[in-house]
Amino acid sequence: MRPARKAFWLTSKAFSVAGKARRLAFIARSFARKAFGVASKARRLAFITLSIARKTFSVAGKARNLAFITRSVARKALRVAGKARRLAFITLSIARKTFSVAGKARNLAFIIRNFERKALRIAGKAIWSLAPFFRLPDLVDRSVINEMFLKGRLP
């Protein structure tokens, strides 16, 4: 394969990879945002449930002190309190796992961004391997050529 054709092929491949990486980065970022939102809601729910459990234990204690009035009320309140407490721990566990998923999605977004940068770097190298085939003046600055390429204005 001729150098010019090979460089053009490399450039198109690099931009294809960069575009895919960019799209994946946006998807990963949206997943991370959603996961953080779910995690914060789960965390709030866990605190609310813990508050309810504490209040229920308080009520249960009072009902127990007044057991001569009715022992069944105390038993039911303690049962509800236990269930609320277990629910609070389950909700906290879900919140922790959601934060873990959000962190992994964030890390994936950073990895994809690095791939995108590498692809753009390869594209830049391919451009400079094609530079002798374009009739560019010797005085043109490298940054000007890069800008022209990014705007699609190279001849």
pLDDT, average across residues 111-132 = 76
Taking CA atoms, 41 is separated from 45, 54, 94, 95, 99, in Å, by: 6, 20, 11, 8, 11
Interval 48-85: pLDDT, tens: 888 888 888 887 777 677 666 766 766 787 888 888 88
0.75 exceeded by pTM? no
Write down the domain spans for the chain.
3-150
- Collect all residues with Cβ–Cβ distance below 8 Å to 116 and sequence separation of at least 6: 18, 21, 22, 25
How much is the pLDDT for 72? 73
The tokens 């009715």 sit on which residue?
70
Mean pLDDT to the nearest integer, 133-140: 57
* Spacing of C-alpha 43 from chain mean position: 18
Give 113's pLDDT tier (boundaries 50, 70, 90).
Answer: confident
The residue-averaged pLDDT of 126-155 equals: 62
pLDDT digits (tens, 9 = 90+) for 1-43: 688 788 878 888 877 888 888 888 888 888 888 888 888 888 8
Rg (CA), the chain: 31
> What is the model's pLDDT at position 142?
64
pLDDT of residue 88: 80
Q: How far apart are CA 122 and CA 103, in angstroms?
A: 29
Q: Is the pLDDT of residue 123 over 80?
A: no
Q: What's the CA gap between 124 and 118, in Å, rounded? A: 10
**What angle do helix axes 142-150 and 71-130 make, rounded to 10 degrees?**
120
**Inter-axis angle of helices 3-65 and 71-130, nearest 10:** 170
How far is residue 113's CA from residue 117's CA, in Å, rounded to a whole number?
6
Contact 149, 127 (CB under 8 A): yes
